[in-house]
Structure 1
Amino acid sequence: MSEPVIEQLLATTGLDELYPVVASLRMTPGWHKKRPSLWKEPRTEFRPLHWRYDVGRAALDQAGRWIGTDLAERRNYLLFNPVGDNDYDTVRTLVVAFQMIKPGEYARAHRHTPNAMRLILDAGPGCYTVVDGIKLPMRTGDFLLTPGGCWHSHYNEGEASAYWIDVLDVPLVHLLEPMFFEDHPDRSQKVVAEPAGHPFYFPPQRTLPALAAAPGDDGVQRLTLETAQHIPTVDISLLKFAAGTGRDFGRNTASRVFAVVAGRGTARIGELTAQWARGDVIAVPSWSPYEIRAHEDAVLLEVCDEPVLRKLGFYREGARPEAPEHSHPSDEAFES
């Protein structure tokens, strides 16, 4: 005797009767999908976006009146892309945040699967992070790594609030689902070493001379930081633009974010034109054409997921689409 479900299938007299039966079995006819599953070129709901540091800093200062690190694990603002109900991801694989710690505060220790990195915007003596017992300074212009699985906590023993930009690959971990998180059993770590140099620590005294010595191309220089052995999911680079120079980067399948280390300029990403300044954050989703021009000497930090796409064979570059016939309202911003 046939199973009831097979009898139900065989009893259907047409497609209109068949579809609800197979749907109840959690099967979708490939010819009758609700939405396409393949398309001619990459597309994304993520939007090019620009966040200003002066706005983020003011918002952090205001929150600091009412919320401390005793109440919030981290006092930060996540820079999210308005995709559906998303209030976390900045681009598909990366999340960026502005964070602040006040004098006398510490952010308790924890560890997690995602990798993290930090660009320090404004911080003086006495601000530092501890990564697996290693004490690393957090001063203006510093860039630091916190590879996945490392205990990390932040301290401010100085006299002024400290501000920085966090970049993490949490959304990538969400997509792949290998997430682990753990609070430190003692809430804080014991400092076991305070080295003069460390592979997780990139001070401007080290990076900027190397960037200045990097080969230039039409006024733009690039220094790729040696971070792959510690954080293999992203490439991290510093880009230096001479005043009045810029570049059309075309588009590619990687997602990326930029943080402005110094200078001012204009970015055009897809339909977005943004005037950027020090401390600002710019999101460039996958397959978005983007162009960056500096109005004064400038340095930008770039974090992108290109290594993941290359490893999987998904990385591809494409030319920038032809400009529309109508003029862009901010074209004058690109005049040198």
Structure 2
Amino acid sequence: MTSRSPLPNDLQAQRDAFHAELQRMSIIPLWLNLSTAAQTEPRVEGVPHIWRWRDIKPMMLRGGDLISPQEAERRVLMLINPAFDRKSARTVGMIFGGIQFLMPGETAESHRHTPNAHRFIIEGEGAYTAVEGERTIMRKGDYVTTPAWKWHDHGNESDQPMAWLDGLDLPFVNLLDANFFEDYQEGGLHTQPVTRRAEDSLHRWGRGLRPTWEEPARPDISPLLNYRWETSRDSLHALRHEPGSPYDGIILEYVNPLNGKSPLPTISAWLQLLRKDEHTRTHRHTSSTIYHVAEGGGGSLIGGTEYLWEEGDTFVIPSWAEHEHWSRGGEAVLFSYSDRPILKAFGFFREAVQEG
């Protein structure tokens, strides 16, 4: 007797039963998931978004009245992308941003963690950050690094609130299941001792010279604790008459003085000047970026939507989103940081520019 080919309905029933059995075994056939595994270009979950300083600052001050740094571990307002839930700790891409603040007389006790961190000072002057026994006094516009697994704490000895933008590679470390955390407790103390003179790393590494008798244990991590605003801003304006980048204006990258690469191995940071009436051309890239408006005002066109910003605002551009920037009413200075070193390390960084 000649066997007959299964009817289409019979075949579909067999396929459904086969797929269901695979699912019970925690197996997914590639042919049912091909659009995820083989994308013609990235399908990015994160969305452009802007957080207004005029909205954040009052909430920051209210938080200062309601909860202490000790209760909070760190009093940080996490900037979570609307596309993600709060447990993701994702602002955009593989980087996190949050607004940390200290009221006068407050301290945030020492701890350490495997995520790399940095800080860009938004407001105030006179608070300190201490990393591995060295203190630096922070002022508006300073860029302060805190490499992975280094003891660090903060204190505000000034008479005014102090606020800064925290940046971490927290989503990346969480993705790798490599996030460790430890509070400092030694000799009954919760704050690390100061063992080096103030600004010691600046004297050793921040003036274009280096102590020849000293070899840093980690050359991939910048030994410089604080990149001073006045120096960085002066460098930016000294190049204001250069053509600059057609996509970013006059833009400078913070670098590790030991190797010329990013200060932290997973996060790059930049400072850019948009001159009066400057409007950059459109481009896009696979790195995700968090921007903070250090001075002035302007706007950005991100994925076809216009975002107007002013000093103190923070906004994000996800991977592969077309974007352009312009100044408004004068000049503008933007601080930004990105997960670009991660993509470059694995050969995944790609950029596309608008022709013409």
Band of TM-score, shorter chain? 0.7 to 0.9
Match of 2:227 in 1: 202
Q: Secondary structure at the match of 1:81?
A: coil
- Offset of 1:15 from its aligned partner? 2.1
Matches within 5 A, 1:243-262: 243-262=276-295
Q: Which residue in 2 is equivalent to 1:5?
A: none
Q: Which moved more, 1:100-109 or 1:195-204?
A: 195-204
Residue equivalent to 2:252:
223
1:320–1:175 CA distance, 2 compared to 1 (3 A): farther
Are 1:216 and 1:222, in contact at CA under 8 Å, matched by a contact in 2?
no
Query: What whole-Å deviation, never above 9, does each CA across 1:222-265 have from its counterpart, x for those lacking one?
Result: 11111346411122111011111021241111111111111100
3-state SS in 2 of match to 1:136: strand
In 2, Cα distance between the equivalents of 1:154 and 1:222?
30
Change (3 A) 1:225 1:259: same
SS of residue matched to 2:167? strand
Asked whether the equivalents of residues 262 and 341 of structure 2 are also in contact (C-alpha less than 8 Å), the reply is no
Moved more, 227-236 or 269-278: 227-236
Q: Which residue number in structure 1 is paired with residue 48 of structure 2?
A: 48
Contact 2:269 2:338 in 1 (8 A): yes
Could you tell me how far apart the structure 1 residues matched to 2:293 and 2:106 are?
A: 26
The 1:46–1:234 alpha-carbon spacing in structure 2 relative to 1, beyond 3 Å, is same
SS of the residue corresponding to residue 104 of structure 1 reads: coil
Query: Distance between the aligned counterparts of 1:297 and 1:17, measured in 2?
Result: 64
Note the C-alpha offset of 1:216: 3.5
Aligned CA distance change for structure 1 residues 229 and 47 (closer, same or farther; 3 Å):
closer
Give me the whole-angstrom Cα distance separating, in 2, the residues matched to 1:114 and 1:321.
38
Letter in 2 for 1:280: D
Structure 2 unaligned blocks of 5 or more: 1-12, 203-223
Distance 1:299 1:24, change over 3 A: same
* 1:225 maps to amino acid: Y
Q: CA deviation at 1:196?
A: 5.6
Alignment of 1:77-92 (within 5 A): 77-86=77-86, 88-92=89-93
- CA positional deviation for 1:179: 1.3
Change (3 A) 1:321 1:170: farther
For the 8 Å contact 2:134–2:200, the answer to whether it is kept is no
Letter aligned with residue 287 of structure 1: W
Structure 2 counterpart of 1:118: 119
Q: Percent of pairs identical after alignment?
A: 31
Matches within 5 A, 1:1-336: 14-33=14-33, 36-86=36-86, 88-125=89-126, 127-185=127-185, 186-193=189-196, 194-195=198-199, 198=202, 199-214=224-239, 215-217=242-244, 220-227=249-256, 228=261, 230-295=263-328, 296-320=330-354
Q: TM-score, normalised by structure 1?
A: 0.86
- Displacement of 1:55: 1.2
Distance 1:254 1:321, change over 3 A: farther
Supply the distance in 2 between the matched residues of 1:229 and 1:16 (Cα, whole angstroms).
Answer: 51
> What TM-score, normalized by structure 2, do the two folds share?
0.82
State the distance in 2 between where 1:28 and 1:321 align. Answer: 41
C-alpha distance in 1 between matches for 2:82 and 2:270 = 27
Query: Which amino acid is 2:230 matched to?
Result: Q
Whether the aligned pair in 2 keeps the contact of 1:46 and 1:81 (CA below 8 Å) is yes
Structure 1 vs Structure 2 CA RMSD: 2.1
What is the total number of aligned residue pairs between the two structures?
A: 309
- CA shift digits 1:98-156 (9 cap, x unpaired): 1110011000111111111111111223x101101100111112110011111110000
**Cα distance in structure 2, aligned partners of 1:301 and 1:59:** 23
Aligned CA distance change for structure 1 residues 156 and 50 (closer, same or farther; 3 Å): same
Runs ≥4 residues deviating over 3 A: 33-36, 227-230, 319-322
Q: Is the 8 A contact 1:60 1:75 kept in 2?
A: no
- TM superposition shift of 1:320: 4.8
Unaligned runs of 5+ in 1: 1-12, 323-336
Q: Cα distance, 1:311 vs. partner?
A: 1.4
- Residues 123 and 197 (structure 1), Cα distance of their counterparts in 2 relative to 1, 3 Å cut: farther
Give 2:96's aligned amino acid. V
CA contact (8 A) 1:289 1:320 kept: no
Q: Give the distance between the partners of 1:61 and 1:146, measured in 2 at CA.
A: 25
One-letter amino acid of the structure 1 residue matched with residue 29 of structure 2? P
CA distance in 1, matches of 2:235, 2:350: 29
Quickly say closer, same or farther: Cα 1:39–1:67, change in 2 above 3 A: same
Residue type at the aligned position of 2:121: I
> Is contact 1:122-1:163 (8 Å) kept?
yes
Work out whether residues 254 and 286 of structure 1, in 8 Å CA contact, stay in contact via their aligned partners in 2: yes
